[in-house]
Structure 1
Amino acid sequence: MTAHPSREPRTRGRPPAADPARVTAAALRLLDEVGLDALTMRKLATAVGVQVGTLYSYFPTKRALLTAMAESMLAGCRDAAEGVTGPRERVVALAKSLRVALLSYRDGARVYAGTHATGPNTLGYAEALNGALREAGLDASAAMKTSFLVLHFATGHVLEEQAAIQSAPELSAEIAGLRQALRQGDYPHLAEAHDHLTGMDLGELFEEGLRLLTAELP
């Protein structure tokens, strides 16, 4: 009887059309195309080329999908602190990197807000931010509270920025209405500063907010 060499078992069927990483990447692409409100599991399933049930086997709820998307958006954010020596400068660099990451996706701040990812991008970023604050002299409790303040400031600021981008077509009329309300009402301080109120550079405002948040750090 002739012996035959052992063979590797055959894999039956086609490889899966999707996996969590591919679904997350497709969701981010679809987010840029249609926005968060129109991002549905059914549309995502069509974009990926699978049945809706397949998506739910990876992400049982839309919130789980958004958490995975938030985790993916933070890829590389902690790298902003590499090579930055001063702890305050590292905090500022990390905050700026979060803003850039969220602005890189349509409705990025809305996706990120309220999520609690436990992946390496999110936890690595939080570790870098807390590490810089601890090095600046804050204890564990104060560092965590300050971390949340930085995260909430950056997220909230980007929410406003992205809302302004989406409302740009109506912005001129809204500014005209605001100026008229200031002229007709008893708002002397707002009226005096109306040019700054309606013509603020949001990038400069973010920088100023970071300066105030980190003013007491060395």
Structure 2
Amino acid sequence: MGTSSTAQRGRGRPRKMAVPEAVTTALRLVDEEGLDALTTRHLATALDVQAGTLYRHFATKQALLAAMAEELLAGCGDPLPDGLTWREQLAVLAGRLRTALLSRRDGARVYAGTHSVGPNTLGFADTLVGVLLETGLPAEAATRTMFTIINFTVGHTLEEQAARELTGSDLPGALLMLHTALDPHVYPNLAAAEPTLTGTDFDGHFTHGLNLLLTGLTDPPPPARSAS
């Protein structure tokens, strides 16, 4: 007869689990089944550990999500290329965040609302605020602007990933409903814009929105001349 993995460990001794292993497995499960299917029990089964083992490392599911979000942001705060304007630097950072969230199924949902204090999350935020401080913004305004850029990026990516989840007959059906609702006699402006409304140029939508946001930031004042 075969023996179970627990028996093979001897007298039911609990399997040891490393936090990185749990985070990697949780992200894999989300890729395979979506965030809604991720539960502590499901993750514990995939790791072959008791649920209590997970709770020792992640007291709540929110703590697990924060650890997953921290892993998603790896590399986002890396040094920026030389020779970029401050607007280009901000665009690179926002693009890194979007790419990181898109790298995993439901990545934006995993990240939204988390409050990680890990080096990936804080490093990204520090780099972003640093660029804004270099423009001459005071710390409060730079921090509020950081939140605005992050919130725009996360909100856009939430919508983008939700739209990408519409597969098979769902997407054509949704587009048909929208086409039918856009009566040009009732909604002439939206009807004229139907190709854009029903398009899937998410890169274009993101770039356009980010450009609007960054254009709203004033250029830093020129350095004061010293009295001769």
- Give the alignment's TM-score, normalised by structure 1: 0.89
Q: Any unmatched runs of 5+ in structure 1?
A: 1-13
Aligned position for 1:211:
211
**Match status 1:110 vs 2:109:** yes
CA distance in 2, matches of 1:23, 1:173: 38
Aligned residue identity for 2:57 = Y
Unaligned runs of 5+ in 2: 1-12, 220-228
Cα deviation, 1:26-68, whole Å, max 9, x if unaligned, reads 1111111111000111111111111111001110110110011
| Larger deviation, residues 206-215 vs 97-106 | 206-215
CA shift, 1:175, in A, is 1.0
Higher helix share: 1
Q: Distance in 2 between matches of 1:189 and 1:36?
A: 37
Q: Secondary structure at the match of 1:77?
A: coil
The Cα shift of 1:200 comes to: 4.5
Partner SS state of residue 78, structure 1: coil
> 1:88·1:136 contact (CA, 8 Å) conserved in 2?
no
Higher relative contact order (CA 8 A, sep 6+): 1
Q: TM-score, length-normalised on structure 2?
A: 0.85
Secondary structure of the residue aligned to 1:29 is helix
The question of whether the paired residues in 1 share the 8 Å contact of 2:15 and 2:49 is answered with no
State the match for 1:121 in structure 2.
Answer: 120
Matched residues, number: 206
Aligned to 1:189: 189
Q: Deviations over 1:77-101 (max 9, x none)?
A: 1126243532221111000000000
- Give the % identical residues: 52
Match of residue 17 from structure 2: 18
CA RMSD of aligned residues (A): 1.9
Give yes or no for contact 2:15–2:48 (8 Å, CA) kept in 1. no
Is 1:160 the counterpart of 2:159 in the alignment? yes
* Matched letter for residue 195 of structure 1: P
1:36-75 → structure 2 map (5 Å cutoff): 36-75=35-74
Secondary structure at the aligned position of 1:130 is classed as helix
- Secondary structure at the aligned position of 2:77 is classed as helix
Going from structure 1 to structure 2, the CA distance change for 1:167 and 1:73 (only over 3 Å counts) comes to same
- 1:174 aligns to 2:174 (yes or no): yes
**Residue 179 (structure 1) shift:** 1.1
- For 1:209, the aligned partner's letter is G
Structure 1 counterpart of 2:177, which letter?
G
AA aligned opposite 1:105: R
Kept in 2: contact 1:77–1:94 (CA 8 A): yes
The structure-2 alpha-carbon separation of the partners of 1:159 and 1:95, relative to structure 1 and needing over 3 Å to count, comes to same
**1:135-146 equivalences in 2 (<5 Å):** 135-146=134-145
Partners of 1:80 and 1:94 within 8 A in 2? no
Point out the more displaced range, 99-108 or 185-194: 185-194
Cα distance in 1 between the residues matched to 2:30 and 2:176: 32
State the 1:217 CA deviation.
4.8
Amino acid at match of 1:172: P
For residues 161 and 18 of structure 1, the distance between their equivalents in structure 2, rounded to whole angstroms, comes to 34
Worse overlay, 88-97 or 168-177: 168-177
